[in-house]
A and B are shown apart, each in its own frame.
Chain A
Amino acid sequence: MSESSSHAEAHVKIQDVTFYRGTRRIYDGLNVAFPRGKITAIMGPSGTGKTTLLRMIGGQLRADKGQVLVDEADVGKMSRSDLFELRKNKMGMLFQTSGLFTDLNVFENVAFPLRVHTNLSENMIRDLVLMKLEAVGLRGAREMMPAELSGGMIRRVALARSIAMDPELIMYDEPFTGLDPISMGMILRLIKGLNEALGLTSLLVSHDVDESCQIADYLCILSEGKVIGFGTPDELRNGDNAEVRQFLNGDPDGPVPFHYPAADYREDLMAGDPS
């Protein structure tokens, strides 16, 4: 881990975490700290368990070994009720498929956490929901059902919903996937804007290098269960780790080979020969 991350206080700390899915080892002694109030993009090849990491921070998955600390509290050892309390007040998460409730309209979707968790008056809830919807530019779409919305709008509604309870930490799981350039631009602006306006610690899982570099304060590059690079986008681009550079530049071959490990090509071809 580079020096730069130690300047800011850590909001989320992953200490020596090992995680297995079935018999496959996803993480082996992972150590990383995410600074408070910054946007950190977690990147890496598909299948390195980036989403798994978010789910461990959210307490939906438990590490087999090691600690996941949010505000110094170990998420993996919390009781069910403490965990729900933490999620209610301190965390928000934007899922890849957004997870909007299909039986509720836009307004009710955003109002859902407020209705469940608070005893606010209907007027107050209405004001809060409209403020959140205004922030994502969808105040006018409040009566629409999720099925009537475009992909980008769905994600913005989900974003409004995940900030309804004013969390301190927000996690975005692949927020740019499947969006047209305009919607993508809107989401980028929103993520950056929320981070600046509210001082939210933002963790962002993404494959989109250029977009992530635009808004992220730090990049955290994972490969094969380890952090292979952590630092500002510029530091990593100019750094000496060839694998990190390959990833950031999108080179098809390099330390991460183009070819999946296989037997010798020539021998393999000959082996099928009947003679």
Chain B
Amino acid sequence: MIESIRNLGRAGVDSVASMGRAGNLFVQSITWGGPGSAGFLDFIRQIHSVGVRSLSIIVVAGFFVGMVLALQGYNILIKFGSVSALGTMVSLTLLRELGPVMAALLFAGRAGSALTAEIGLMKATEQLSAMEMMGVDPLKRVITPRLWAGIISLPILALLFSTVGIWGGAFVAVDMLGLYDGAYWSNMQNTVMFTEDVLKGLFKALVFGLVVTWIAVYQGYDSEPTSEGIGKATTKTVVISSLAVLGLDFILTAVMLGGV
């Protein structure tokens, strides 16, 4: 009994300490400059590795999600005789919700886990220590460009996800189910607002990008430098960032819609 209470307390203290370390890492690595700070070229290289290399999974997943949305939406809307609203439904669902959320979840699995493993391995092979001893701050050199690459990349990926999804929806609705394409596109054009829908969705993606990348680099940097430790850290990155994205999505939606 006492033992379980003690363990509970210890787990609590550990998680608070861990959050403190994560906050410390964030504060120290979010700004550029410092001993041996990374250059613009490192930043571009990281955007390539977390962003560009996630393109294929984002595009393929986006297309399928759009197709399914259109198929389900068509079958529901046709009962109410409002299939002409299908374009609106598909595009709003994607831009407001599924684009940012799905892209963030895929990003966590594809890029987040890779970041954690990469940084964890650099730590395990003493590359980070070696950097420190050469007078180069690994936070500025390694973490900063990766953090910013994630923040920049995810909104772009989310936008691409939505765009491809809308095309996927059009492919099913117009080309396969025979919906009049003017209804699909012009209703969409009339109802989707730039600030209300597109920008708010992008803002979500920006927050998700920050959170997922932060969790990923922290888990890598804080991992135990053994093969088991890196494995654990990679799993944690995917689990924690997925949950954080879904939880934050509700909070952000509630705040932006102002309905709750």
Contact B134–A87 (Cβ < 8 Å): yes
Against A, the Cβ 8 Å flags (1 = close, 0 = not) of B115-140 are 00000000001111111111111000
Which residue of A81, A99, A162 has the most chain B CB atoms within 10 A of its CB atom?
A99
Closest to B38 in A: A116
Contact A88–B134 (Cβ < 8 Å): yes
A98-B132 contact in complex given A88-B35, A117-B36, C-beta closer than 8 Å: no
Enumerate chain A residues within 8 angstroms of B127, measured Cβ to Cβ.
99-102
B34, B36, B130, B141: the one contacting A93 at CB < 8 Å is B130
Q: How far is the CA of A84 from the CA of B36 in the complex (A)?
A: 9
Against A, the Cβ 8 Å flags (1 = close, 0 = not) of B26-61 are 000000001110000000000000000000000000
With an 8 A cutoff between CB atoms, is A229 at the interface? no
Q: How far is the CA of A176 from the CA of B128 in the complex (A)?
A: 22
Enumerate chain B residues within 8 angstroms of A152, measured Cβ to Cβ.
none
How far apart are B229's CB and chain A's nearest CB, in angstroms? 15
Against B, the Cβ 8 Å flags (1 = close, 0 = not) of A144-173 are 000000000000001001100100000000
Enumerate chain A residues within 8 angstroms of B136, measured Cβ to Cβ.
84, 88, 113, 116
Enumerate chain B residues within 8 angstroms of A60, measured Cβ to Cβ.
129, 132-133
How far apart are B153's CB and chain A's nearest CB, in angstroms? 20
Of residues 235 to 249 in A, which have CB atoms within 8 Å of B's CB atoms? none
Contact B135–A96 (Cβ < 8 Å): no
Q: How far is the CA of A87 from the CA of B134 in the complex (A)?
A: 6
Enumerate chain A residues within 8 angstroms of B35, measured Cβ to Cβ.
81, 84-85, 88
Contact A88–B135 (Cβ < 8 Å): yes
Of residues 193 to 209 in B, which have CB atoms within 8 Å of A's CB atoms? none
Contact A84–B135 (Cβ < 8 Å): yes
Enumerate chain B residues within 8 angstroms of A84, measured Cβ to Cβ.
35-36, 135-137
Contact B126–A113 (Cβ < 8 Å): no
Contact A87–B133 (Cβ < 8 Å): yes
Contact B125–A97 (Cβ < 8 Å): yes
Enumerate chain B residues within 8 angstroms of A81, measured Cβ to Cβ.
34-35
With an 8 A cutoff between CB atoms, is A175 at the interface? no
Q: How far is the CA of A117 from the CA of B133 in the complex (A)?
A: 13
Q: How far is the CA of A86 from the CA of B141 in the complex (A)?
A: 18
With an 8 A cutoff between CB atoms, is A133 at the interface? no
Enumerate chain A residues within 8 angstroms of B137, measured Cβ to Cβ.
80, 84
Q: How far is the CA of A113 from the CA of B135 in the complex (A)?
A: 8
Contact A99–B36 (Cβ < 8 Å): no
With an 8 A cutoff between CB atoms, is A44 at the interface? no
Contact B134–A165 (Cβ < 8 Å): yes
Enumerate chain B residues within 8 angstroms of A161, measured Cβ to Cβ.
130, 134
Enumerate chain A residues within 8 angstroms of B131, measured Cβ to Cβ.
99
Enumerate chain B residues within 8 angstroms of A80, measured Cβ to Cβ.
137
Q: How far is the CA of A106 from the CA of B36 in the complex (A)?
A: 20
Closest to A89 in B: B135
Contact A113–B134 (Cβ < 8 Å): yes
Q: How far is the CA of A155 from the CA of B127 in the complex (A)?
A: 13
A85-B135 contact in complex given A116-B36, A117-B36, C-beta closer than 8 Å: yes
Contact A99–B135 (Cβ < 8 Å): no
List residues of chain A with CB under 8 Å of any chain B CB.
58, 60, 80-81, 84-89, 91-93, 95-102, 112-113, 116-117, 158, 161-162, 165
14 A-B Cβ contacts within 8 A? A58-B133, A60-B133, A84-B137, A85-B35, A88-B35, A88-B134, A95-B126, A95-B129, A96-B126, A98-B126, A99-B126, A99-B127, A99-B130, A113-B136
Extra inter-chain contacts (8) besides given A84-B35, A84-B36, A100-B130, CB under 8 Å: A58-B132, A84-B136, A92-B134, A97-B125, A98-B126, A99-B125, A101-B127, A113-B134
Q: Which 3 A-B pairs have the closest CB atoms?
A: A88-B135, A99-B130, A99-B126
